[in-house]
């Protein structure tokens, strides 16, 4: 049993010790904040993008860093997951990319406003969140055991947009099917028609109708038809 004076000293000593630990952890947290929150990348574009995010109540449907509604997808790492060009296309006209599916409204943002919004989302995605949200525990695999031979230059549009959903040789997204040896299944003409209007070829497909130019479609179809 402790005497009264011993109990008092034990209490005071413990209070002082844990207060010092708490204070030290608080100071250390504040010391790390600038680096972990990308303070050095907090540009005017990011600030304007945050204002657009708030003015349009994007958090009424989406979440960022765990805060917001859970009606629509979490966007904390959306730039890393989808890429800037894909996001730009989607924001311009969500319904056009996913007919009769997406409930995302068309806000008619200007190109400049979309650039600001992407800058904000990109900044958020680089915040050190200790690995949250976790990446899906899914291994992207090729659709064939054969090594995909790429004999033509990979179009910029493929890297900017298509890789958000598709993979080649295990490199890319896993939302859509892997495109290894896709040229062995479909010819260039079929791929051109598919890229122009996926719904016309396969009603109900989840493949969006991307706002591609004829030249971009030609380049992508030529590239994909050579994956054999």
**What CATH number has the domain bearing residue 207?**
1.10.760.10
Structure tokens at 190: 């079929």
160 occurs within a structural domain: yes
Structure tokens at 63: 């979440």
State the DSSP code for 39. G
pTM across the whole model: 0.75
Per the structure, the complete domain to which residue 160 belongs is given by: 156-225
Structure tokens at 92: 């311009």
60 occurs within a structural domain: yes
10 occurs within a structural domain: no
Residue 216 or residue 175, greater confidence: 216
Residue 216 or residue 100, greater confidence: 216
Residues 95 and 168 in one domain: no
> Which pLDDT does position 150 carry in this prediction?
66
Per-residue pLDDT tens digits for 67-103: 999 899 999 999 998 999 999 999 999 888 877 777 8
- Rounded Cα gap, residues 130 and 24, in angstroms: 20
> Which pLDDT does position 78 carry in this prediction?
94
> Which pLDDT does position 110 carry in this prediction?
97
Per-residue pLDDT tens digits for 15-62: 999 999 999 999 988 888 777 777 888 999 999 999 999 999 999 999
> Which pLDDT does position 39 carry in this prediction?
81
End position of a domain, from candidates 104, 125, 146: 125
57 occurs within a structural domain: yes
Residues 55 and 106 in one domain: yes
Residues 88 and 162 in one domain: no
- Rounded Cα gap, residues 173 and 138, in angstroms: 10
Residues 54 and 99 in one domain: yes
- Rounded Cα gap, residues 77 and 184, in angstroms: 34
Structure tokens at 135: 């990446």
Which whole number is the average pLDDT over 122-132?
Answer: 88
> Which pLDDT does position 95 carry in this prediction?
85
Per-residue pLDDT tens digits for 133-166: 777 665 545 444 555 556 678 999 999 999 999 9
Provide the 3-class DSSP secondary structure of residue 217.
helix
| Per-residue H/E/C for 148-191 | CCCCCCCCHHHHHCHHHCCEECCEECCCCCCCCCHHHHCCHHHH
Domain count, the chain: 2
Residues 60 and 116 in one domain: yes
90 occurs within a structural domain: yes
> Which pLDDT does position 139 carry in this prediction?
52
Residues forming a β-bridge with 64: 67
Residues 189 and 119 in one domain: no
């Amino acid at each position: 049993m402790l005497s009264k004076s011993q109990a008092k000293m034990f209490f005071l000593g413990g209070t002082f010790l844990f207060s010092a630990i708490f204070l030290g952890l608080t100071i250390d947290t504040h010391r790390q904040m600038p680096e972990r929150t990308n303070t050095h990348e907090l540009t005017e574009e990011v600030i304007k993008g945050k204002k657009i995010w708030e003015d349009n109540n994007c958090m009424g449907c989406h979440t960022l860093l765990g805060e917001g509604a859970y009606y629509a997808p979490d966007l904390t790492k959306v730039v890393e997951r989808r890429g800037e060009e894909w996001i730009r296309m989607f924001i311009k006209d969500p319904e056009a990319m996913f007919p009769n599916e997406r409930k995302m409204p068309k806000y008619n943002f200007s190109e400049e406003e979309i650039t600001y919004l992407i800058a904000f989302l990109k900044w958020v995605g680089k915040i050190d969140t200790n690995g949250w949200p976790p990446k899906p525990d899914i291994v992207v695999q090729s659709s064939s055991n054969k090594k995909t031979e790429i004999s033509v230059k990979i179009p910029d549009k493929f890297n900017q947009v298509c890789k958000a959903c598709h993979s080649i040789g295990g490199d890319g997204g896993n939302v859509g099917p892997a495109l290894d040896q896709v040229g062995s299944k479909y010819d260039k003409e079929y791929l051109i028609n598919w890229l122009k209007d996926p719904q016309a070829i396969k009603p109900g497909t989840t493949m969006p109708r991307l706002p591609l130019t004829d030249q971009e479609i030609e380049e992508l179809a030529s590239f994909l038809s050579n994956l054999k």
